[in-house]
Amino acid sequence: MRDEVLAEWKDTDEGPALHVYGHVSGGFVFGSALFRYEIFQDELPLVLEALRYGDSSFLAALLS
């Protein structure tokens, strides 16, 4: 089983952008990959909100 998330900042023409990649594998594990992916999708907004709150000083400096 391999479930992981990678996020990185990339410079774009429109300014910095946060790119988030998720990998949810299948195989003989607890729940299907689709089931775990749906959980990932449900929780992603909360994760992004926590990043925005926790890194607010960093984001303010980055975007100014």
Residue-wise pLDDT for 2-51, tens only, equals 677 788 888 899 888 888 887 777 656 666 778 877 888 888 888 889 88
Range of the domain at 54: 3-63
> Token pair for residue 23?
């990998």
Q: How many domains is the chain partitioned into structurally?
A: 1
- How many other β-carbons are positioned within 10 Å of the β-carbon of residue 24? 20
0.85 exceeded by pTM: no
Give the DSSP letter string of 1-23: --EEEEEEEEEETTEEEEEEEEE
